[in-house]
Amino acid sequence: MSSQSATPASPSALRLSSAHHSFADRLGDPALRALAWLASGVAIVILGALAYKVFALAGESFSRYGLGFITSENWNPSQGTNGYGFGAADFLFGTAVTSFFALLIAAPVSIAIALFLTELAPRRIRRPVATLVELLAAIPSVVLGLWGLIVLAPMMRGTIEPALQSVFGWLPLFSGTETGLGMITAIVILTIMTVPIVSAVTREVFATVPTELKEGALAMGATRWEMVRMVMLPYARSGMVGAVILGLGRALGEAIAVTMVIGHTVNGLHPSLFATGDTLASRIASEYQGAATSLQISSLAYLAAILLVLALIANVVARLIVRRTTVRLPVGLGAPN
């Protein structure tokens, strides 16, 4: 609203109001304005301070290893032993593999769910089903991790991994011994965590497709799927890309649930999804408390700095893309970490 409307229109109104104006009223306006400005300032300062502090903590490791840290596979925190040193490559690999495959599964599933909710579901069950899918994002990640560790992992080792191996065993991805705890279990957990957010954003994107376009396609004799394929998906393409990148941002940063199921032992750039591994976030979560040397703490902060940069890129790109499609993004969606 415009600030002009704050000025009372008639002199009598002015007199009337000024009679009511106590000390609190004269103080109230500037105080509220100042507090409101301050609050917005706090949000921006926190963001800046956060980035500064994480990079500052990483300083010791950065001055020791430079950017070579990113490509070094060596991570040996036992001081005094041969090869004591730190590098991020194994964890970058773990983060890339788990996030990529999680989104590879989550993207089509989420789009299908969004299509079901916008086009197929009877009006009565739309809201309940949408709520249930979103509640999936509300499950605390430590609970999902516990479930992954005790229920999902044995199921993966006993049933799913052998089945995948018997059918796709010729692919390096599904070679090696089934462990239950490894990259593939982390991928399943991350898929579960990203589907709610990707499908929620995709649903918002689909809601922006003009009804005339959809009806036009149907009137031309297209089946519902042809309408989806020829009208909705092309119209919503960039929004869907944004939704998936937003999901990627979530997957990259998930620490607790992943750390509980991924097995931690790194195996280099191993092609098998059954192998154990570690992501940037899960290594920080598992090692930070037991860190013995300041170089180790600093190297873990270096991992955090890399993670921060990746998450920031994913979020900025996703928001820029999605904002172009004038979609209101869900706030507060996403599992507690």
Per CB under 8 A, contacts with another protein among 140-179 are 140-147, 149-151
Tell which positions 102-141 bind another protein, by CB under 8 A: 108-110, 112-113, 115-117, 119-121, 129, 131-136, 138-141
Among the listed residues 8, 158, 169, 216, the single contact to another protein using CB under 8 A = 8
Tell which positions 244-303 bind another protein, by CB under 8 A: 246, 249, 252-256, 260, 281, 284-285, 288-289, 300-301
Q: Which is nearer to another protein, 190 or 272 (CB)?
A: 190
The stretch among 46-54, 77-85, 163-171, 265-273 that binds another protein (CB under 8 A) is: 46-54
Helices and strands, number each (H, E), in the chain? 16, 0
CA distance 77 to 83: 9
How many residues bind to another protein according to rule CB under 8 A? 113
Q: What HEC string does 140-175 produce?
A: CHHHHHHHHHHHHHHHHHHHHHHHHHHHHCCCHHHC
CA distance 120 to 125: 10
Q: Which is nearer to another protein, 31 or 269 (CB)?
A: 31
CA distance 203 to 48: 32
CA-wise closest residue to 95 among 300, 296, 299, 306: 306
Which tokens hold the place of 136?
């999936």
CA-wise closest residue to 259 among 158, 161, 142, 147: 142
CA of residue 251 relative to chain centroid, distance: 5
Tell which positions 192-251 bind another protein, by CB under 8 A: 192, 195-196, 199-200, 218, 221-226, 228, 246, 249
Binding status of residue 67 toward another protein by CB under 8 A: no
CA distance 334 to 337: 9
Smallest gap from Cβ 237 to another protein, in A, equals 18
Smallest gap from Cβ 176 to another protein, in A, equals 25
Q: Which is nearer to another protein, 32 or 167 (CB)?
A: 32
The stretch among 7-15, 175-183, 236-244, 266-274 that binds another protein (CB under 8 A) is: 7-15
CA distance 7 to 175: 75
Smallest gap from Cβ 170 to another protein, in A, equals 26
Residue with tokens 């799927």: 225
The stretch among 71-79, 173-181, 264-272, 314-322 that binds another protein (CB under 8 A) is: 314-322
Among the listed residues 36, 104, 171, 292, the single contact to another protein using CB under 8 A = 36
